[in-house]
Amino acid sequence: MAKQPKDLSDLFHETVKDIYFAERQILRALPKMAKNAQSPELAKAFETHRDETQVHIERLEQVFEIIGKSPRGKTCDAIVGILDEGKEIMEDFADTQALDPGMLAAAQAVEHYEISRYGTLKTWAIQLGHPDAAKLLDATLQEEIKTDKLLSQLATASVNRKAA
């Protein structure tokens, strides 16, 4: 039996599964990051993003519904690697002044990955004729960009300075 050729719709679905898995892993990592943060501002940023991440997961579940698929994740090796780096930083730099800058940098690596994925998915949703999915993906994209900017501000205003 001949294998069915894959198209952009298949790629869109696979990538939504990928980011769904990623968001669920991020949701699990953020409380530990907040607990380990020395800076109250950084801890609060992680806690706030945890709440946003729950909404991101709910939006992705709506995207699955729009495309007629069941919400299901697919292991995302990229996010597993980024989160593993974050864990390593928390272990290697525990109780040092470099812990917060390291965790902040790891969090920004996560944000940059998410920004890339959500930007791509939004574009594909528009191309595939899913304007409602595109709106949901764009809402999350804007929140990820906002979080990245907040982390950059925290880094330059306080976290990196305290560690220097």
pLDDT tens digits for 130-157?
A: 999 999 999 999 999 999 999 999 888 8
Global pTM? 0.93
Q: Which amino acid is at 84?
A: D
Q: Tell which wins on pLDDT, 118 or 162.
A: 118
- pLDDT-based confidence at 31, cuts 50/70/90? very high
Which are the contacts of 115, defined by CB distance < 8 A and separation ≥ 6? 141, 144, 145, 148
Average pLDDT taken over every residue of the chain: 94
At the topology level, CATH places domain 8-163 in Ferritin (1.20.1260)
> Closest Cα partner for 40 from 164, 144, 162?
162
Over the stretch 76-100, which tens digit does the pLDDT of each residue have?
Answer: 999 999 999 999 999 999 989 999 9
What pLDDT, on the 0 to 100 scale, is given for residue 163? 66
